[in-house]
């Protein structure tokens, strides 16, 4: 799905680049349409090298979202400790609506234009000397930035400083949607908006020997100054990010100077076709080339130079880092031994799965989350896939239409306690005010509380005698109940107490958000909103509320009575769960029902960290994932295919390397110790031999002169 505003920005960038060609061309150059055809024929690899960055950026941005969600590896606090509120002062001093609008469009469209014309101009006017160096420099800048984006995450200033606004991101709902799709908001250091143009400017300063590109060099310098102000003013980058951008550009220039000749000796389009023809027509020549190169490689490995050992050290680092990144982004493990999972409940370190085992019938599979490969099975007569059950502490309860079983998970060999019930629609484990376990049932729309021994417990009375319960959530002795008389009102009560306290869930969104839904043919109806799901934990209650057009996620602070939207109000949110400082849910983020994209049709798992006030992706793929549940050390969810649950996955919330990652780190350490030692010795030895040779030649020349 391509955003209309993005198409506008691209059009502006392309048009601007074409219009400016006569202004920036070398003095003697001519402008004609034929040169465009020659440009693509002569420089297609240069263009491909630079624009491959956009492909890799999407890949690494997705990886970074998952890496951040799994590790919380963030350096924003250190940057803020260094800078304080300097960026905020800039924004507050200059803030004006006209400036915000202008700089937002400049920030995106101007950057797109500078990136593409900084390679296209030199290719169009057949300046291979500059095209080689600038395209390679831009590529190196991005390569050098990737480690920062993965391991030195710095959030945008508007996400960290409370009074700072992300002016560009929040200019309009459409712009906000586009930024949320393409930007993880954690790639602040270094700023590519500074790094790439600064690298281009350095290339021109260093290698534009006859000043043919003087006008363009001055233009790029002016662009850098305006961009530096824009990215600070708009609430995106820190001042340190600007320094980081200039730093990677300077390093990229050094790398280009060193490797430019070697790279383009291989990738030069003028000789590449000839080499491809040789592969097809002269296989013996290819065989000879492979043989000689292999012999040369073997010789260099048998007698490695410091250059070879240096690259070997880099490769060890890259391979080890790749293993760790893979581990940190693939931490959700499937629960084994569950043949056909249907529903799941997780709490207090336990996961309970309803499992359809065919001839064996429906059983409960009990999994201790700390050891997910160890399973226990509870067989209850006459269970169905619609049976109600719950788990809390060391107790699990499961019910059919007539009997409720209470089973002690710490002693599965013991017989369960059996209580007569009447077709309960909800079964929940709760506590009395003294911490004693009880079972809360909803039978024929009425609340009923009983102890595991079957004794009755006082429950809150309905607001209207005939009102029926349509939904319920429990946490210890607290009950959150939805009655049919008002399906947007949450009644909060306690076990053993008769009354309720009412909380209204505010599902109202900004008019612009509702207007977007209306443009898709979906009308928001707040008056007839209905709570679909709700969960409660401590002072927090989270619910999804259907407003006809979509399901919205609402977070309620029970202590203050304030509620707020937690996710984008345009897109469906389902299956909320809250606990241990985290809210988790399944979302079809950025799903446009008029133009549904495969990328957004499936549900992804999101979570909100209440202490950090930050939302993170936990999954980002093409797999439909539902029913997330938060426990103390894990988040559990189910994988759905064709409407059926096919697997249950367990994700550890704490950062812990898998054994294979630990082994990789240990091996890398053992390898690097002798390798680094040899590299240092070899480098000094080569320097000594070079100095000795130089002294010998100098002595010889002195003797000849004498």
Residue 230 and residue 317 in one domain: no
Question: For position 274, what pLDDT does the model report?
Answer: 73
263 in a structural domain: yes
Which DSSP state fits 571?
S
| Closest by Cα among 433, 450, 432, 452 to 441 | 450
Q: What is the DSSP letter of 162?
A: T
Residue 554 located in a structural domain: no
Q: Are residues 160 and 295 in the same domain?
A: no
CA dist list (Å): 488 to 279, 445, 484, 524, 670:
71, 17, 9, 14, 62
The proportion of the chain whose per-residue pLDDT surpasses 70, expressed as a percent, equals 93
Mean pLDDT of 618-643: 84
Structural domain includes residue 416: no
- Residues 295 and 178 reside in one and the same domain: no
| Cα 520 to Cα 523: distance, rounded to the nearest angstrom | 9
Percent above pLDDT 90 for the chain: 19
Residues 6+ apart with CB under 8 A from 42: 123, 126, 269, 270
Domain contains 473: no
Instruction: Determine the 3-state secondary structure of 558 from DSSP.
Output: coil
Mean pLDDT of 248-255: 94
Candidates 490, 473, 583; CA nearest to 530 is 490
Looking at the fold, whether 74 and 151 belong to one and the same domain comes out as yes
* Same-domain pairing of 301 and 196: no
Query: Given a cut of 70, is residue 698 above it in pLDDT?
Result: no
Give tens-digit pLDDT for 450-466. Answer: 888 888 888 888 888 88
Same domain, 326 and 240: no
Classify residue 544: in a domain, yes or no: no
Same domain, 224 and 305: no
Claim to verify: residue 312 and residue 230 sit in the same structural domain: no
Buried b (16+ CB within 10 A) or exposed e, 235-257: bbbbbbbbebbbbbbeebbebbe
Q: Sheet containing 573-579: give its strands across.
A: 573-579, 582-587, 604-609, 614-617
Flag whether 60 is in a domain.
yes
Q: Is residue 75 part of a domain?
A: yes
What is the average pLDDT across 573-585? 91
Tens-digit pLDDT profile for residues 278-323: 777 777 777 777 788 777 777 777 777 777 888 888 888 888 888 8
| Statement to judge: residues 308 and 265 lie in one domain | no
3-state secondary structure of 506: coil
Q: How confident is the model at residue 62 (pLDDT cuts 50, 70, 90)?
A: confident
Residues 264 and 289 in one domain: no
What band does 336 get if pLDDT is binned at 50, 70 and 90?
low
Whether residue 425 is contained in a domain is answered as no
User: What is the domain count for the chain?
Assistant: 2
Of the candidates 428, 562, 545, 455, the residue with the CA atom closest to the CA atom of residue 503: 562
Q: How confident is the model at residue 331 (pLDDT cuts 50, 70, 90)?
A: low
Q: Is the pLDDT of residue 57 over 50?
A: yes
Residue 1 banded pLDDT, cuts 50, 70, 90: very low
Per-residue confidence at 403, pLDDT binned at 50, 70, 90? confident
Q: Which of 100-104, 165-169, 681-685 has the highest mean pLDDT?
A: 100-104
Rounded Cα gap, residues 6 and 180, in angstroms: 13
Q: pLDDT category, 629, cuts 50, 70, 90?
A: confident
Contact between residue 558 and residue 541 where contact means Cβ atoms under 8 Å apart? yes
Residues 121 and 252 in one domain: yes
Query: β-strands 446-450, 456-457: how paired?
Result: antiparallel
Mean pLDDT over 683-697 rounds to 76
Specify whether the CB–CB gap between 194 and 110 falls below 8 A: no
Digit-coded pLDDT (tens) for 368-397: 777 766 777 777 667 777 778 888 888 888
Closest by alpha carbon to 634, among 332, 302, 274, 298? 332
Whether pLDDT at 675 is above 70: yes
- Tracing tokens 């599902």 back to the chain, one arrives at 507
pTM: 0.76
- Domain containing 161 equals 36-274
Instruction: Look at residue 334 and tell me whether its pLDDT is greater than 80.
Output: no
Same structural domain, 315 and 173? no
């Amino acid at each position: 799905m391509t955003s209309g505003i993005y198409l506008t920005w691209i059009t502006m960038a392309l048009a601007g680049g074409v219009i400016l060609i006569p202004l920036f061309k070398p003095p003697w150059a001519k402008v004609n349409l034929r040169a465009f055809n020659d440009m693509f024929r002569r420089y297609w690899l240069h263009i491909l090298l630079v624009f491959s960055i956009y492909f890799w950026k999407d890949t690494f941005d997705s990886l970074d979202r998952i890496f951040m969600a799994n590790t919380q590896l963030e350096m924003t606090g250190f940057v803020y400790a260094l800078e304080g509120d300097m960026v905020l002062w800039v924004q507050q001093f200059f803030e004006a609506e006209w400036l915000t609008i202008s700089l937002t469009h400049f920030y995106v469209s101007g950057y797109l234009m500078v990136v593409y014309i900084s390679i296209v101009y030199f290719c169009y006017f057949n300046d291979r000397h500059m095209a080689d160096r600038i395209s390679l420099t831009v590529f190196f800048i991005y390569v050098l930035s990737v480690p920062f984006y993965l391991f030195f995450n710095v959030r945008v200033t508007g996400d960290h400083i409370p009074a700072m606004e992300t002016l560009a991101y929040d200019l309009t709902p459409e712009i906000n949607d586009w930024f949320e799709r393409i930007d993880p908001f954690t790639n602040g250091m270094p700023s590519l908006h500074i790094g790439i143009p600064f690298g281009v400017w350095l290339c021109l300063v260093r290698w534009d020997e006859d000043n043919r590109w003087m006008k363009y060099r001055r233009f790029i310098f002016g662009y850098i100054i305006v961009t530096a102000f824009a990215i600070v003013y708009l609430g995106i980058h820190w001042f340190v990010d600007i320094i980081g951008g200039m730093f990677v550009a300077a390093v990229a220039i050094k790398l280009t100077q060193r490797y430019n000749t070697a790279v383009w000796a291989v990738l030069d389009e003028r000789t590449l076709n000839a080499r491809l023809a040789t592969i097809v027509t002269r296989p013996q020549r290819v065989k000879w080339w492979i043989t000689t190169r292999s012999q040369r490689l073997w010789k260099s490995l048998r007698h490695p130079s410091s250059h070879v050992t240096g690259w070997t050290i880099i490769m060890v680092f890259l391979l080890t880092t790749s293993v760790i990144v893979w581990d940190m982004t693939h931490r959700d493990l499937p629960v084994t031994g569950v043949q056909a999972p249907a529903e799941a409940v997780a709490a207090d370190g336990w996961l309970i799965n309803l499992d359809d085992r065919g001839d064996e019938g429906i059983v409960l599979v009990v999994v201790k989350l700390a050891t997910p490969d160890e399973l226990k099975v509870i067989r209850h007569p006459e269970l169905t896939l619609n049976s109600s059950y719950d788990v809390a502490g060391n107790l699990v309860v499961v019910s059919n239409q007539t009997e409720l079983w209470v089973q002690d998970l710490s002693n599965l060999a013991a017989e369960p306690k059996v209580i007569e019930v009447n077709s309960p629609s909800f079964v929940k484990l709760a506590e009395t005010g003294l911490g004693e376990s009880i079972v809360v049932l909803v039978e024929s729309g009425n609340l009923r509380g009983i102890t595991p021994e079957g004794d009755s417990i006082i429950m809150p009375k309905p607001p209207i005698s005939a009102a029926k319960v349509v939904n319920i959530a429990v946490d210890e002795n607290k009950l959150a109940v939805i009655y049919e008389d008002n399906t947007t009102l949450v009644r909060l009560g306690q076990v053993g107490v008769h009354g309720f306290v009412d909380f209204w869930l505010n599902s109202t969104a900004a008019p612009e958000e509702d207007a977007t839904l209306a443009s898709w043919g979906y009308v928001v109806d707040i008056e007839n909103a209905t709570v679909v799901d709700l969960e409660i934990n401590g002072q927090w209650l989270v619910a999804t509320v259907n407003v006809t057009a979509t399901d919205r996620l609402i977070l309620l602070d029970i202590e203050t009575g304030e509620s707020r939207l937690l996710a984008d109000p345009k897109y469906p949110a389902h299956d909320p769960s809250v606990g241990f400082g985290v809210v988790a849910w399944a979302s079809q983020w950025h799903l446009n029902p008029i133009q549904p994209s495969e990328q957004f049709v499936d549900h992804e798992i999101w979570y909100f960290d209440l202490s950090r006030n930050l939302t993170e992706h936990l999954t980002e793929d093409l797999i439909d994932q539902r029913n997330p549940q938060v426990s103390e050390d894990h988040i559990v969810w189910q994988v759905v295919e064709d409407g059926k649950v096919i697997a249950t996955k367990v994700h550890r919330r704490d950062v812990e390397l898998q054994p294979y990652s630990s082994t990789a780190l240990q091996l890398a350490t053992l390898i690097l110790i002798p390798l680094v030692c040899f590299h240092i010795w070899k480098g000094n030895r080569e320097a000594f031999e070079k100095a000795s040779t130089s002294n010998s030649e100098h002595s010889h020349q002195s003797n000849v002169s004498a």
